[in-house]
Amino acid sequence: MTIFTYAALVAHKITQVERVPVTGHPHWLGLPWEDVTFPSRGDGVSLSGWYLPTAADDRCIVLIQGTEHHRNSQEIRALRLGRDLFERGFSVFLFDFRARGKSEGDRSSEGDREQWDVFGAIDYVTGRGIPVERIGLLGFSLGAGVALLVAAQEPRIPAVVSDSGFMDYMLELQNLYIGSFRLPSWFAIFVAFAGRIFFKADFSKVRPAQVVEQVDQPIFFIHGEDDPVIPVEETLVLHNISDNPEDRIWIVPRAEHVNVYRKKRDEYVARVSRFFHKHIV
């Protein structure tokens, strides 16, 4: 088997995601809701989500899930978090990335084209009459990296929360995939090439550490100190690179990957809602 063939097999595995059925529903929590379908901005892939409108519906938080999750990630408790933010005056938009939940598509691009999906979500919210300047992004894991990449391209986004974020998908590729197969780190270059050629997924465009310094908007970095998936040091580095006096960082002891909200629900909601209230004006 040639290097390129093996690289293609690894890229195939990475971009293949299990479509987990969407469970739960906003009406179970007594929330107003709308079933929404909307196009991804870049290629028109049809995406699906729930919109939770407040009575005023004049500012919105877009929740952006991780790579294996859908709009109501049970690991994150996304819908409960949506309710908590709704109760603090924010409309909330929860949606499924391409190839997840009820959205169309058959492959992940691990943060490349998912940026188009977030821009599609922003387009939907602005189509309701809410200006970009009143839309905040709250991303988890892969979604945290995507949120930073989108904010770097759209400076009118007023504020971003990065929960369990990462520095560079090429590093994650080396650590999570290449290393587990006991392959040399340079093999990641071939996997990235195969991903771009065969699966239209350009992993080299998923590098938050290269753009976070360009994000002028305030960022609230959150990470569990005991995260076994993405080391907390990656968020510490992102925070240091950003170097914005308006940024905030919260490192939570004895918390793991994307479970700070579950561990510290009241404090999480208080801190995140206070951050968004300050910057979405």
User: What is the model's pLDDT at position 14?
Assistant: 87
For the cut 80, the answer to whether the pLDDT of residue 37 exceeds it is yes
pLDDT bucket at 180, cuts 50 / 70 / 90:
low
Flag whether pLDDT at 92 surpasses 90: yes
Quote the Cα angle for 70-39-93, to 5°: 45
Give the β-pairing of 91-95 and 46-52: antiparallel
Q: What is the pLDDT of residue 250?
A: 98
pLDDT digits (tens, 9 = 90+) for 123-167: 999 999 999 999 999 999 999 999 999 999 999 999 999 999 999
Helix (H, G, I), strand (E, B) or coil at 233: helix
Cβ neighbours of 157 (radius 10 Å): 24
Question: Residue 252 is part of which domain span?
Answer: 3-279
Helix or strand run (H / E) with residue 236: helix 232-242
| CATH code for the domain in which residue 233 is found | 3.40.50.1820
| 0.85 exceeded by pTM | yes
Give, as one character, the DSSP assignment of residue 178: I
Position 174 pLDDT exceeds 80: no
Q: In the chain, pLDDT over 90 holds for what percent of residues?
A: 80
Mean pLDDT of the region 6-27:
89
Total count of domains within the chain: 1
Angle between helices 142-153 and 114-127 (to 10 degrees): 60
Contact 40/98 with Cβ under 8 angstroms?
yes
pLDDT by residue (tens digit) across 184-220? 777 888 888 899 999 989 998 999 999 999 999 999 9
Each residue of 38-66: pLDDT tens digit?
999 989 999 999 999 999 999 999 999 99
pLDDT in tens, 114-125: 999 999 999 999
